[in-house]
Amino acid sequence: MSFSSIYAAPTQADMDILTAAIKAEQKAQAAYAAGAASGKLDAATVALATKIMGQHAEHEKAEAAALTKMGGTPPAKPASFDFPAFGSAEDILKYALGLEQDAANTYFGAVKTLQDNSLVLAVISIQNDEAQHVALLRSALKMDPSPVSFLPFK
Amino acid sequence: MSLEELAYKGLTSAHSRRRFLKKVGMIGGGVMAMGIVGEGLTFGSAAAQTAGDDVKTLQFAYTLENVAIAAYKAAAGSGLLTDDVKAVGIKFAGQHQDHANALKAALQSVKGDVPAVPTKINFPAFKNQADILNFALALESAAVGAYYTSSGKFSNRDLAVAAASIVGVEATHVAILSAALQKDPIPTAFVTGTPFDQVQATANSLLGAPSGGQGGGTPATTTTMPSGAPATGTGGSASQGPDLTGAGVLGLAAAVAGAAYAVTRRKSAQTAEEQSNEE
């Protein structure tokens, strides 16, 4: 995805939203990497985690490009993250689910405040992807994969 | 005439537009109506010159939701679905009904006409469960495309928020149906749904496209992607990672088991909610 609009008057608020989003995407990638390397996930779930991780990387890349275009500086990826100790595959999936629900809800919340219309659309397209991640993780956890009729996730 | 034009019929007159604009200032009812899509929704100052288009878009969405409800109901009554898949369909139909109710309430709150629920829909002939699931997948993808596109067209940001709250749920339907069909449930990192021109073509084929211009002065409505839309019509995602089609955790069993669980849980949750409401 490219953010094709011309940022005639980028606002600091929009840039702050992008910066926060990039940090969340970095954390999600690290969480899936840790989960995939934990040895606690079966092969199919590792494949799922790896695929989802790649999509978060795509989100980060697009957001960093947009932020740069607006004159901002994308935040550097932290050297490490404080993840909880994962005792089981279920622990990992539940932790990932929490991140994904937060991400979907955060992007949804940004729709209300973003000034740049092309950012609104881009954010919705990412929100939708996170919502799909939520559905798949919930399905893997034998939970209702589509628990609400309207975002945000509860 | 396109479905969208049909849906818009009668709402482009100066009278109805003026009537709508008059109501924009007193949209408290709309806030309540759309309140179920998110707390604290308020209708700000809509761009006056395009507010009438907001009504049209709501009407189109309302019609699409009703098509989806009818499709899932027809599927449930087809005798072609396993019990588990039928349960998923009924659950999705319920969520589309929630969307339709919200859209209807929003339209009523701004005194916009609520389109008739379509009664004659040209569903394709379904021979088996896969036919139905594929059709449902196409319909849900079209809904995602419609809401995604409309979210960039609304003059009122609160309507864009409402569209976003609905489209995220339609996106989960797409993923679940894809998984049930052993297709990659997350083929792209940026989910924009079916391009809007195809959405219209799908809608037209389902609802018929009368040749006579019965709109009586209805201007030719052309629907294009919003100018600010990212160029994602073809997916927009260069690298897509491994194809997860058929991955065990995403297979039919898991998706359906989860959804069937969902339906059961939803019932018990509703019961609990009813009980707490009675207190």
DSSP at A144 = -
- What is the spatial distance between Cα A57 and Cα A28, in angstroms, rounded to a whole number? 9
Q: Does residue B128 surpass a pLDDT of 90? A: yes
| pLDDT recorded at residue B62 | 96
Q: Does residue B101 surpass a pLDDT of 60? A: yes
C-beta of residue A125 within 8 angstroms of C-beta of residue B232: yes
Q: What is the dihedral of CA A2, B44, B62, B186, to 10 degrees?
A: 30
Higher pLDDT, A48 or B233: A48
Residue B263 is part of a domain; what is its CATH number? 1.20.1260.10
Segment B66-98, tens digit of pLDDT: 999 999 999 999 999 999 999 999 999 999 999
In angstroms, how far is CA B119 from the centroid of its own chain?
18
HEC assignment per residue over B33-102: HHHHHCCCCCCCCCCHHHHHHHHHHHHHHHHHHHHHHHHHHHHHCCCCCCHHHHHHHHHHHHHHHHHHHH
Interface of B with A in 94-153 (CB under 8 A): 94-95, 98-99, 102, 144, 148, 151-152
| pLDDT recorded at residue B209 | 62
Position B51 confidence tier, pLDDT thresholds 50, 70, 90: low
Assigned token pair, B207: 């609802």
Interface of B with A in 195-234 (CB under 8 A): 226, 228-232
Asked if B262 lies within 8 A of A45 by C-beta distance, the reply is no
- Name which of B169, B244, B257 is nearest A142 (Cβ-Cβ): B257
Residues B43-47, mean pLDDT to the nearest whole number: 32
Please list every residue in chain A whose beta carbon sits closer than 8 Å to the beta carbon of residue B190: 1, 58-59, 62, 122, 125-126, 129
Q: Does residue B61 surpass a pLDDT of 80? A: yes
Higher pLDDT, A85 or B41: A85
B112: Cα within 13 Å, side-chain hemisphere: 32
Interface probe with B: pick from A7, A139, A141, A148, most Cβ of B within 10 Å: A139
Cis peptide before B118 (omega within 30 of 0): no
Interface of B with A in 171-190 (CB under 8 A): 171-176, 179, 185-186, 188-190
Residues B15-36, mean pLDDT to the nearest whole number: 31
Residues A74-86, mean pLDDT to the nearest whole number: 96
| pLDDT recorded at residue A115 | 87
Is there a domain that residue B151 lies in? yes
Assigned token pair, B31: 């806030």
DSSP at B250 = G
| pLDDT recorded at residue B241 | 37
| pLDDT recorded at residue B111 | 85
First to last CA, chain A: 29
Asked if A139 lies within 8 A of B254 by C-beta distance, the reply is yes
Say which residues have a Cβ less than 8 Å from residue A32's Cβ, sequence separation at least 6.
A49, A50, A52, A53, A56, A96
Asked if B175 lies within 8 A of A136 by C-beta distance, the reply is yes
DSSP at B249 = G
Q: Which fold has domain A12-74+88-140?
A: Ferritin (1.20.1260)
Residues A29-44, mean pLDDT to the nearest whole number: 97
Segment A98-147, tens digit of pLDDT: 999 999 999 999 999 998 888 999 999 999 999 999 999 999 999 999 99
Asked if B152 lies within 8 A of A117 by C-beta distance, the reply is yes
Q: Does residue B247 surpass a pLDDT of 60? A: no
C-beta of residue B84 within 8 angstroms of C-beta of residue B256: yes
The alpha-carbon gap from A128 to the nearest alpha carbon of chain B, in Å, equals: 5
Segment B168-193, tens digit of pLDDT: 999 999 999 999 999 999 999 999 99
Chains A–B, number of C-beta pairs less than 8 Å apart: 214
- What is the spatial distance between Cα B186 and Cα A132, in angstroms, rounded to a whole number? 7
The alpha-carbon gap from B262 to the nearest alpha carbon of chain A, in Å, equals: 4
A46 touches chain B (CB under 8 A): no
The alpha-carbon gap from B210 to the nearest alpha carbon of chain A, in Å, equals: 33
Considering only A85-94, A129-138, B27-36, which range has the smallest mean pLDDT? B27-36
A39: Cα within 13 Å, side-chain hemisphere: 0
Please report how the helices B196-207 and B129-151 are oriented relative to each other, as an axis angle in degrees rounded to 10: 130
- Name which of B157, B193, B247 is nearest A47 (Cβ-Cβ): B247
Residues B155-163, mean pLDDT to the nearest whole number: 88
Q: Does residue A82 surpass a pLDDT of 50? A: yes
Assigned token pair, B69: 């409800």
Mean pLDDT of chain A: 93
Contacts 24+ apart (CB under 8 A), B42-51: B42/B158, B43/B156, B43/B158, B43/B159, B44/B156, B44/B157, B44/B158, B46/B155, B46/B156, B47/B155, B47/B156, B48/B21, B48/B24, B49/B155, B50/B155, B51/B17, B51/B20, B51/B21, B51/B24, B51/B155, B51/B156
* Domain spans of chain A, in order of start: 12-74+88-140
The alpha-carbon gap from A83 to the nearest alpha carbon of chain B, in Å, equals: 24
- Name which of A47, A122, A148 is nearest B169 (Cβ-Cβ): A148
Is there a domain that residue B260 lies in? yes
A106 touches chain B (CB under 8 A): no
A111 touches chain B (CB under 8 A): yes
Considering only A6-10, A37-41, A47-51, B131-135, which range has the smallest mean pLDDT? A6-10
Interface probe with A: pick from B169, B170, B252, most Cβ of A within 10 Å: B169
Q: What domain count does chain B have?
A: 1
Please list every residue in chain A whose beta carbon sits closer than 8 Å to the beta carbon of residue B230: 1-5, 118, 121-122, 125
| pLDDT recorded at residue A9 | 67
Q: Does residue B221 surpass a pLDDT of 60? A: no
Radius of gyration (Cα) for chain A, nearest Å? 16
- Name which of A59, A104, A150 is nearest B37 (Cβ-Cβ): A150
Segment B146-157, tens digit of pLDDT: 999 998 888 888
- What is the spatial distance between Cα B191 and Cα A107, in angstroms, rounded to a whole number? 13
HEC assignment per residue over B136-201: HHHHHHHHHHHHHHHHCCCCCHHHHHHHHHHHHHHHHHHHHHHHHCCCCCCCCCCCCCCCHHHHHH
Report ipTM (2 d.p.). 0.94
- Which domain covers residue B90, as residue numbers? 3-30+49-212+245-272
Higher pLDDT, B40 or B134: B134
Segment B196-212, tens digit of pLDDT: 889 988 888 899 864 33
Assigned token pair, A82: 């404080």
Is there a domain that residue B83 lies in? yes
- What is the spatial distance between Cα B86 and Cα B117, in angstroms, rounded to a whole number? 23
Asked if B185 lies within 8 A of A132 by C-beta distance, the reply is yes
Asked if B164 lies within 8 A of A121 by C-beta distance, the reply is no
